[in-house]
Amino acid sequence: MKIGLMGTGLMGLPMAERLLTAGEFVTAWNRTVAKLQPLKDAGADVAASAAELLRSSELILLMLTDAPAIQEVLLTEECRSLLADRTVIQMGTIAPQESRELQDEIGRAGGFYLEAPVLGSIPEAKAGTLQVMVGSTPQQFEQWSPILRLLGMPRHVGEVGSAAALKLALNQLIAALTTAFSLSLSFVQRQNVPIDTFMQVLRQSVLYAPTFDKKVQRLVDRDFSNPNFPTKHLLKDVNLFLQEAHQLGLQADSLTGVQRILEIACAEGLADADYSALFAAVNPEPA
């Protein structure tokens, strides 16, 4: 199987490395050429353009930033002409309607499309333990599960759009939980409640979520370096969720507050930092 992977950023790189380790033939392309060197060193072919990748690949995996980036890269006139009989699996986080529109456009070009966004971050991508949520026909799920199992645990959610919706719902929880935890942690800090006491009580309650222990030291130390998931990407996903929620008639004012906190963090120069940097907006350091 000749696999092409577009987008070798924080998640695309370890995913491509997993495929190479499994013995798959991988061609990679990224708009920032320097990000391709580790994959070239690991044995991947490197395409000079998106069109070159399409010419050499039967299956194309997308790990691009957002739907506009996919449109810009994959749906140029030249690339459209190369999509016939290719299968495209979109694995990033985009809105359900954006995914359905991609399915239509790729179908009109003679290609095949399914979505398979993933839950997990860099450690899970390296270990091949991502949760892979698939929106496709049952036949497509059966056909491509062997490849997806190299990256994690595929689960068929439903038709195209359903997996994208599930991924946004989960990322909304990431934003909401991290913001709520940051606010409570900040409150007890300023009230001189020992953080160890706060965490001990929290762990023994139904309020506890494992992500709190994963993030607490980062927050206390205000260390937002080496991101698994940058603040700007979480803000993008929150914006997508809010757009969809409003169209569905949902009351999402609670998330609008989280959106504002993420905007503040990005404005303070933390857009590329780990998303736990929203703590800095919730709990600004005294002047």
3-state secondary structure of 26: strand
The residue count for the chain: 287
pLDDT the model gives residue 100:
98
Q: Distance (Å, rounded) from C-alpha 109 to C-alpha 86?
A: 10
Is 269 contained in some domain? Answer: yes
Asked if 24 and 149 touch (Cβ cutoff 8 Å), the reply is no
Together in a domain, 64 and 169: no
Q: From 134, 159, 184, give the residue that closes a domain.
A: 159
pLDDT the model gives residue 139:
98
Residue 158 CB coordination number (10 Å)? 15
- Tens-digit pLDDT profile for residues 170-223: 999 999 999 999 999 999 999 999 999 999 999 999 999 999 999 999 999 999
Higher pLDDT, 35 or 165: 165
- Tens-digit pLDDT profile for residues 236-280: 999 999 999 999 999 999 999 999 999 999 999 999 999 999 999
Domain boundaries, position 152:
2-159
Over range 82-101, report the average pLDDT: 97
- Tens-digit pLDDT profile for residues 11-32: 999 999 999 999 999 999 998 8
pLDDT the model gives residue 80:
94
Together in a domain, 155 and 64: yes
| Ordered alpha helix ranges (H), 152-222 | 162-190, 195-203, 210-221
Over range 155-164, report the average pLDDT: 98
Burial of 40: CB neighbours in 10 Å, binned 0-12, 13-18, 19+:
exposed
pLDDT the model gives residue 35:
87
Write the CATH number for 198.
1.10.1040.10
Q: Distance (Å, rounded) from C-alpha 96 to C-alpha 131?
A: 18
pLDDT surpasses 80 at 287:
no
What tokens appear for 271 in the block?
């857009």
Q: Distance (Å, rounded) from C-alpha 188 to C-alpha 194?
A: 7
Per-residue confidence at 56, pLDDT binned at 50, 70, 90?
very high
Residue 83 C-alpha from the chain's centroid: 24
- Going by their DSSP bridges, the two strands 25-29 and 118-119 should be labelled as unpaired
Q: From 119, 137, 159, give the residue that closes a domain.
A: 159
Q: Distance (Å, rounded) from C-alpha 37 to C-alpha 226?
A: 19
Over range 101-114, report the average pLDDT: 97
The total number of structural domains that make up the chain? 2
Which residues, including other chains, have CB under 8 Å from residue 73's CB and lie 6 or more apart?
6, 31, 50, 64, 79
Rounded mean pLDDT of the chain? 96
Together in a domain, 234 and 207: yes
Is 287 contained in some domain? Answer: no
Write the CATH number for 99.
3.40.50.720
Identity of residue 176? A
Asked if 93 and 119 touch (Cβ cutoff 8 Å), the reply is no
